[in-house]
């Protein structure tokens, strides 16, 4: 991850170790939980968009680097975070991108993310993580339900510039219809969560699962 200096942006970066992910047994257990919830209608889902490998799909706007990134993990609560992954074979900057919870958006900094690498956007000070691209992000990552979206514009009604989306706990939210129109979310779907959940993450099977935190 490379940071380009820019006087109009001021963010704090952390060099502390990246938070360890849950062990394999817990991931399998929670994956089965998600499949069980799917059978009950409260299901975890991935996007119906392009597979998150290789080079990005074509875009009508050449500068739209949003198509390089996927939402990989969401930490919940007052010290939450959003992890983005550059799933392509090319380095790309977060500059010109926004993490949004309609109608509000967070303008992301000019940080270059290497191919297949991660970038953490932290609500708090980023303690406990490496690969922190931004701290003190004004996001509300409520455990029981919420949404977050990656745009290449701060116009949250523009479905053509919406590249990644996740909602959890319930549906719909303010941005759900735009995500459906963009073709990156299924109507009626949402990731499972609960009031005591601590994070959400996507499995290799493209299912969203949650850590109960207990």
Q: How many CB atoms lie within 10 A of CB 34?
A: 20
Assigned domain for 166 exists: yes
Record the tokens describing residue 93, joined without a space. 């900057």
Assigned domain for 60 exists: no
Assigned domain for 3 exists: no
Tell me the C-alpha distance between 14 and 8, whole Å. 20
Q: List Cβ neighbours of 120 (8 Å cut-off, separation of 6 or more).
A: 18, 81, 82, 83, 84, 126, 129, 131, 132, 133
Sheet with strand 104-107: strands edge to edge = 104-107, 98-101, 146-151, 162-168
State the CATH number of the domain containing residue 48.
2.60.40.1260
Nearest to 133 by CA among 152, 119, 144: 119
Domain of 126 in residue numbering reads as 11-52+65-211
Record the tokens describing residue 37, joined without a space. 């919830």
3-state secondary structure 142-189: CCCCEEEEEECCCCCCCHHHEEEEEEECCCCCCCHHHHHHHCCCCCCC
Gap between the terminal Cα atoms of the chain: 33
Tell me the C-alpha distance between 69 and 111, whole Å. 13
pTM for this predicted structure: 0.75
Assigned domain for 59 exists: no
Assigned domain for 58 exists: no
pLDDT of residue 65: 80
Domain count, the chain: 1
Assigned domain for 5 exists: no
Assigned domain for 73 exists: yes
Ranges in the chain, pLDDT < 50: 5-62
Assigned domain for 173 exists: yes
pLDDT of residue 18: 32
Nearest to 89 by CA among 60, 61, 53, 64: 53
pLDDT of residue 9: 35
Tell me the C-alpha distance between 77 and 165, whole Å. 19
| Tally of residues, the chain | 214
């Amino acid at each position: 991850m490379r940071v380009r200096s820019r006087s109009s942006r001021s963010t704090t970066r952390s060099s502390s170790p990246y938070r360890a992910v849950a062990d394999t047994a817990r991931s399998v257990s929670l994956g089965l939980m998600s499949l069980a919830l799917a059978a009950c209608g409260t299901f975890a889902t991935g996007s119906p968009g392009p597979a998150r490998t290789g080079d990005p799909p074509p875009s009508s706007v050449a500068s739209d680097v949003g198509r390089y990134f996927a939402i990989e993990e969401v930490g919940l609560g007052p010290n939450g975070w959003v992890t983005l992954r550059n799933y392509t074979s090319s380095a790309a900057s977060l500059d010109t991108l926004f993490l949004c919870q309609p109608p509000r958006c967070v303008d992301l900094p000019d940080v270059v993310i290497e191919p297949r690498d991660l970038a953490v956007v932290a609500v708090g000070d980023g303690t406990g993580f490496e690969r922190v691209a931004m701290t003190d992000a004004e996001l509300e990552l409520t455990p029981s339900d919420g949404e977050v979206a990656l745009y290449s514009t701060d116009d949250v009604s523009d479905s053509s510039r919406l590249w990644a989306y996740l909602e959890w706990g319930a549906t719909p939210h303010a941005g759900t219809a735009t995500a459906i129109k963009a073709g990156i979310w299924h109507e009626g779907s949402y990731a499972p969560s609960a009031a005591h959940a601590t994070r959400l993450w996507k499995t290799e099977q493209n299912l969203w699962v949650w850590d109960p935190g207990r």
